[in-house]
Amino acid sequence: MEVIEVKDRGQQKQFLDFRRKLYKESSLYVDNNLFLIQELFAGKTSFVNDKEIYAFNVKDSNNIVCQGIVVYASDLSDYIQLCFFESLEGQDEAAKLLVDKAIEIGKKHNCKKLVIGLNGHVNYGLGLLCDHYDEKNTFSSAANPKFYNDYFDKMDLEKVYLCTYRSVTDHTRIERYASLLRKIKKNYEFRSFDKKRFDEYSKIYTDLNNQAFEGHRYYYKRNYKEDKEMLKELFLFMKEDSLIFAFKDGQPVGFVMWYPDYNELAKGGEVFGARHFFRNIFMGRKIKYGKLMEYGVLPQHRKSGLVMGLLDQVYISMQGHGIQNLVSSWVLEENADSNSVCQALCDEKYKRYVVYEKEI
């Protein structure tokens, strides 16, 4: 058994074909990350510009049994990341070899920790699924069978847990905060993303992210070009009211992003792509769930209740699109503020995820 670095196009094709086959044979999960990996291989995304990226296939008797991508980001220099891990079942040795390779690279960069489950940046995914294995993943959420966790559980790694929430979009919950919402609407202005002013609004999004999430575990600063590319891809599907900003005295101070769960348009085992966009536009396929992806508020406005005002805008927008149910993206279980908001407005905790760490 050997770990082989993916360098040429033939090896890249093998890497992608292995991933496609795994998802197709599972007939359950939708692959939302294949397109991003293809862009990484082709160097078509600015995300590669300031990072060192290594892809590996682990082979046994010339057959791929396990794979992953190792990322070193200088702006998150304490961590070496093992991303996009995929494997056949019963491959404990292969998984260990891949982890050892990531640690070897991390030591060369003087990293302090290995992190497994961070896909280059939190904007592209965080965590491995650790329950609800028998359900289709929501758009942009991790999908993996239980045996992936079994591999890492045997390696005596530290664990950082995340959870999601779900609810019907019952406006009566947030109406309990009616007096606060009236005050918020007097003090803040809400605006949807304006695609006619794409560059301007994209920069606002980047600036708010970098200020609101400073100090957040695993977060590091994004640049304008990276976010512009990401938003252009998302807005192939999203409507302008999927990204809503809060302004105070003409200055942006917060934002919230949500979108329909586009994975409802795909069958299990498929790679998400353009054909699902056409199903949405031309076939009128109805989507039942909205995905609350992220929200951020500048520190000086967090005690104002602005988060509730932003989420009120999400409820209004979702109902305008005929979406009656809500599922959140991951929330770190250590994030008391975000968990308390979700617990106040949602029916229940839903899926749980885990990130693995190891000092090196």
Last residue of a domain, one of 132, 163, 194: 163
Co-location of 99 and 187 in the same domain: no
Q: Say yes or no to pLDDT of 169 above 70.
A: yes
Residues 112-154 have pLDDT tens digits of: 999 999 999 999 999 999 999 999 999 999 999 999 999 999 9
Please check whether residue 121 is in contact with residue 13, taking contact to mean a CB–CB distance below 8 angstroms.
no
**Token couple for 135:** 């359900």
pLDDT band for 283, please (50, 70, 90 cuts). Answer: low
Domain co-membership, 111 together with 184: no
Q: Specify the pLDDT at position 165.
A: 97
Does the pLDDT value for residue 45 go beyond 70? yes
Pairing assessment for the beta strands 128-129 and 331-332 based on DSSP bridges:
unpaired
Structural domain contains residue 210: yes
Residue where a domain stops, chosen among 163, 190, 209:
163
User: What pLDDT score was predicted for residue 127?
Assistant: 98
The whole domain housing 189 covers: 166-351
132 and 184 in a single domain? The answer is no
Lowest mean pLDDT among 141-145, 168-172, 211-215: 168-172
Claim to verify: residue 130 and residue 158 sit in the same structural domain: yes
**CA triplet 293, 294, 298: central angle to 5 degrees?**
170
Strands (E) across the chain are located at 2-6, 51-60, 63-73, 79-87, 113-116, 128-129, 158-168, 189-192, 243-248, 251-260, 289-297, 325-328, 331-332, 348-359
The model's pTM is 0.94
Residues 157 and 221 in one domain: no
Q: What is the DSSP letter of 272?
A: P
- What domain count does the chain have? 2
Quick one: 171 and 298 in the same domain? Answer: yes
pLDDT at 125: 95
Asked if residue 360 belongs to a domain, the reply is no
pLDDT at 276: 72
In a domain, 337, yes or no: yes
Specify whether 154 is located in the same domain as 252.
no
User: What pLDDT score was predicted for residue 324?
Assistant: 87
175 with 319, same domain: the answer is yes
CATH of the domain at 152: 3.40.630.30
Q: Look at residue 216 in the predicted model and tell me its pLDDT.
A: 96
Alpha carbons within 13 angstroms on the beta-carbon side of residue 201 total 21
Where do we find the tokens 């695609």? 195
Asked if residue 357 belongs to a domain, the reply is no
- pLDDT average, residue stretch 250-263: 96
Q: Is residue 32 part of a domain?
A: yes
Among 175, 2, 106, 179, which Cα is nearest to 359's?
106
In the 8-state DSSP scheme, what is residue 224? H
pLDDT the model gives residue 279: 64
Band (278; pLDDT cuts 50, 70, 90): low
- Answer yes or no: do 234 and 119 share one domain: no
Secondary structure element (H or E) that encloses residue 346, with its range = none
The answer to whether residue 358 is domain-embedded is: no
Q: Answer with the one of 163, 192, 215 that is the final residue of a domain.
A: 163
Residue 356 in domain: no
In a domain, residue 359? The reply is no
Claim to verify: residue 13 and residue 37 sit in the same structural domain: yes
pLDDT above 60 for 157 = yes
pLDDT digits (tens, 9 = 90+) for 174-192: 889 999 999 999 999 999 9
Whether residues 105 and 212 share a domain: the answer is no
Residue 85, pLDDT > 80, answer yes
312 and 220 inside one domain: yes
pLDDT in tens, 19-29: 999 999 989 99
